[in-house]
Structure 1
Amino acid sequence: MPAPTRRTFLALGALGGLLALSGCTDSHPKNAQQTADDADRPLRLRQLAATDALLADYDAVIAARPADAARLGDLRDDVVQHREALAQSLPASSAPASVPASASAGAGAARTVADLAASERRTAGRRLADLTAASPALARILASVAASGAAHAAALGDTGPLADDGASPSASPSPSPSPSASASASASASGSATAAAMPAADTEALQSALAAEHAAVYGYGVVGAFLPTGPQREDGRAAYAAHQARRDAWQRLLASGGTSPTAAAPGYRLPFQVKDAATAGQLAAYLETQLTAAYADLSATTALRTQAATALRECALRAAHWGADLPALPGLAAADPTPSASAT
């Protein structure tokens, strides 16, 4: 990885303030939104049922393993927030009531932490199964919830593939919580769509994701300069290569459709001073967390929805690997204010 120069700074403006796609351009937005809500209703109900089954699994394992209650309780709280997000726009009369922990304890099929990890992974796959049929707003939620579920599964020891993942044969099916996921496989999947057929809003979201990757590539150059030789340095190199590959794939995709790809900014500014391995790891976690916002927005597109969900999940897994405290909905939580890219 190239070492940073004194004339170059990292600004995460490219990673913040990203366009949230609404997918609603009808002259009667209320009617269009109602149509989208009606189409999403079966998907939301199916996802709520899967979420309630997962909550029952959490309650069963917590009841069986009280020593793990604190750790598992934090993850369960995330799943409750997933449920709230998935129930949005459903009339109260049609949304099934959540089952209180006291009532569902012991009702789940899971009995061990390994069972629970597998349940998280399978449920994350079910999120992706409905991704392409969802409205743009629901697709963003599903991609974020799937990323959170994959991070939960990894934290519990299950890094197997998500059952319904893989928009193309070249997609990487089993992201690791380590930054060493295959960059070439992800980049190949990212380039499987045709830019010429993309709507203008999709192109704009892709340009935002490309700008975020430009900033991340530079950021990992800084990270690598402060990591000691050994596993940490190798993790940094792998993440740097993964972001380079995805950046290059987005550039090729845009160029193939006759669109000029967003160029890297003349200069970037760091969000905080990096002076040792600890702060380098904090920067890596920050970069990955901020990138989830770009890929949550890209998940609302039609042409690149599944590839964006894969990128969102990989960023969430890398963020967790670097020690980030991921929100329940990666990419959908409000991003920290960040300065704009600026030259020196």
Structure 2
Amino acid sequence: MPYPPPLRAPSGPRRRSLLTSAAGAALLAGCSADPDSAGSGGPSATARARARAARDSRALLERYDAVLAAHPGLADRLRPLRAQVAAHAAAFTDGATPTTATPASPSPAPVPAAEKDALAGLAAAERALADQRAKELLEVPGEPARLLASVAAAGAAHAYLLTEAAK
């Protein structure tokens, strides 16, 4: 048995019209020239995130250099991971050439005397930075978020490899 037609036509806009209008408004709002600038005249959230990530990668690179200076026997294990950290720093600074040479003076951060403890310290630093980047990627759009996610995943893998090497 078919349903009878409604007695009166609904007044006001239909639900489909409202949804279409809302979707259109959202698209128009997303088409601004720089969604991060918010008219402040300062650097965008994306630029600040990239600068912070580059600075953090350089600090981690210094930490690798300090461990390598204190424990040259770890060079074969740490050299590939250090090279990736240098590449990450370069990626965050718009593709500048990564640092490949070890500086003459190690970082002022103290390096544990035992290799196992030095590796555990590097693993903890990698893990903390990967966690920080995983949180920060939610604050930036598109490509910078993908870059942060990729580098965070690499950092988590480094932490795992360093933890396994310290056993």
Fold in common (TM above 0.5): yes
Q: What is the CA–CA distance in structure 1 between the aligned matches of 2:45 and 2:82, rounded to whole Å?
A: 28
Cα 1:125–1:119 change in 2 (3 A) is: same
* 2:14 counterpart residue number: none
Map Cα deviations across residues 91-144 of structure 1 (whole Å, 9 max, x no partner).
x9xxxx969631452434443111111111111112112111112111000100
Which one of 82, 92, 107 corresponds to residue 88 of structure 2? 82
Q: Is contact 2:131-2:152 (8 Å) kept?
A: yes
Q: Is contact 1:63-1:106 (8 Å) kept?
A: no
Cα 1:48–1:99 change in 2 (3 A) is: farther
The answer to whether structure 1 residue 152 and structure 2 residue 158 are counterparts is yes
* 2:60 counterpart residue number: 54
Which one of 60, 65, 73 corresponds to residue 71 of structure 2? 65
Q: Which amino acid in structure 1 is aligned with residue 68 of structure 2?
A: I
Per the TM alignment, residue 33 of structure 1 is displaced from its structure 2 partner at its CA by 8.7
Q: What is the CA–CA distance in structure 2 between the aligned matches of 1:104 and 1:142, rounded to whole Å?
A: 29
After superposition, the CA RMSD in angstroms is 3.1
Q: Is contact 1:58-1:72 (8 Å) kept?
A: yes
Q: Which amino acid in structure 2 is aligned with residue 65 of structure 1?
A: H
* 1:45 counterpart residue number: 51
From the CA coordinates, give the structure whose radius of gyration is larger: 2
Q: Normalising by structure 2, report the TM-score.
A: 0.63
Which one of 114, 118, 122 corresponds to residue 116 of structure 1? 122
The answer to whether structure 1 residue 126 and structure 2 residue 132 are counterparts is yes
1:16-27 to 2 correspondence within 5 Å? Answer: 26=31
Q: Is contact 1:128-1:143 (8 Å) kept?
A: yes
Q: Is contact 1:58-1:108 (8 Å) kept?
A: no
Q: What is the CA–CA distance in structure 2 between the aligned matches of 1:146 and 1:34, rounded to whole Å?
A: 22
Q: Is contact 1:52-1:99 (8 Å) kept?
A: no
1:1-40 to 2 correspondence within 5 Å? Answer: 26=31, 31-32=33-34, 38-40=44-46
Map Cα deviations across residues 165-219 of structure 1 (whole Å, 9 max, x no partner).
xxxxxxxxxxxxxxxxxxxxxxxxxxxxxxxxxxxxxxxxxxxxxxxxxxxxxxx
* 2:142 counterpart residue number: 136
Q: What is the CA–CA distance in structure 2 between the aligned matches of 1:109 and 1:123, rounded to whole Å?
A: 19
Per the TM alignment, residue 60 of structure 1 is displaced from its structure 2 partner at its CA by 0.8
Q: What is the CA–CA distance in structure 2 between the aligned matches of 1:137 and 1:63, rounded to whole Å?
A: 35
Q: Which moved more, 1:73-82 or 1:43-52?
A: 43-52
The answer to whether structure 1 residue 107 and structure 2 residue 113 are counterparts is no
Q: Is contact 2:86-2:100 (8 Å) kept?
A: no
Q: What is the CA–CA distance in structure 2 between the aligned matches of 1:109 and 1:127, rounded to whole Å?
A: 24
* 2:8 counterpart residue number: none
Q: Which amino acid in structure 2 is aligned with residue 105 of structure 1?
A: P
Q: What is the CA–CA distance in structure 1 between the aligned matches of 2:99 and 2:36, rounded to whole Å?
A: 24
Q: What is the CA–CA distance in structure 2 between the aligned matches of 1:110 and 1:156, rounded to whole Å?
A: 15
Q: Is contact 2:83-2:100 (8 Å) kept?
A: no
Cα 1:109–1:48 change in 2 (3 A) is: farther
Q: Is contact 2:88-2:151 (8 Å) kept?
A: yes
Q: Which amino acid in structure 1 is aligned with residue 108 of structure 2?
A: A
Q: Is contact 1:128-1:146 (8 Å) kept?
A: yes
Map Cα deviations across residues 65-86 of structure 1 (whole Å, 9 max, x no partner).
1111121011000001111111
Q: Percent identity?
A: 38
Cα 1:122–1:87 change in 2 (3 A) is: same
SS of residue matched to 1:157: helix
Map Cα deviations across residues 274-296 of structure 1 (whole Å, 9 max, x no partner).
xxxxxxxxxxxxxxxxxxxxxxx
Aligned length: 125
Cα 1:45–1:148 change in 2 (3 A) is: same
| More helix per residue | 2
